Amino acid sequence: MLPNRPFTILVAEDDEEDRLLLDEAFMQNGLFDCGRFVEDGDQVIDYLKNCIGPEAVHPLPSLIIMDINMPLRNGLETLLAIRADHQLKNIPVLIMTSSRQEVEKAYRMGANSYLVKPIQFTELIQMIGDVATYWRDTVNLPYNEY
């Protein structure tokens, strides 16, 4: 039996307005206090490293939603870094971006899902609800204790 672990989503998004919209979509879906937000790939790696070991600041996220086009380290570079780390590689990573151009590349690099950002806010609310239902309520996620 797996330990009871809080459902948390680490969101990597450099656009402040998109972060606010995603946070509101979480709230609209009853996902209060489950979103953790960072602005670039380097912050993703820093956050994740602070989830590991006896001095961990917080638990590993249940999943990561990440934009591709971010400063410092883009989403695909960050995805590669996550997949290369034996302590992080099992965390589901969902790419959420405005373009359909990197779909095949993202899956080849280890993405678990590729989502295109909807234009309408109501569609974003629905998408986040679908993501939560699937990743929180439907699938069994791996559990790593570090």
- Whether 143 maps to a domain, the answer reads no
Domain of 60, CATH number, reads 3.40.50.2300
Residue 76 is given by DSSP the state H
- Flag whether 86 is in a domain: yes
pLDDT tens, 78-118?
Answer: 999 999 999 999 999 999 988 888 899 999 999 999 999 99
Residue 39 Cα to chain centre, angstroms: 12
Domain range enclosing 96: 9-21+35-138
27 is a domain residue:
no
User: pLDDT class for 20, splitting at 50, 70, 90?
Assistant: very high
Mean pLDDT of the chain: 88
Q: Is the residue at 30 inside a domain?
A: no
Does residue 145 belong to any structural domain of this protein?
Answer: no
CB 8 within 8 A of CB 56: no
Mean local confidence (pLDDT), 122-140 = 91
Q: Using CA atoms, how far apart are residues 65 and 75, in angstroms rounded to an integer? A: 10
Arithmetic mean of pLDDT, 33-53: 91
Residue 101: the pLDDT is 85
Does this model's pTM top 0.85?
yes
Structural domains in the chain (count): 1
Within a domain: 131: yes
Q: What is the C-alpha separation between 146 and 137, in angstroms, rounded? A: 24
So what's the pLDDT on residue 38?
Answer: 95
- Looking at the DSSP bridge assignments, the partners of residue 116 are 97
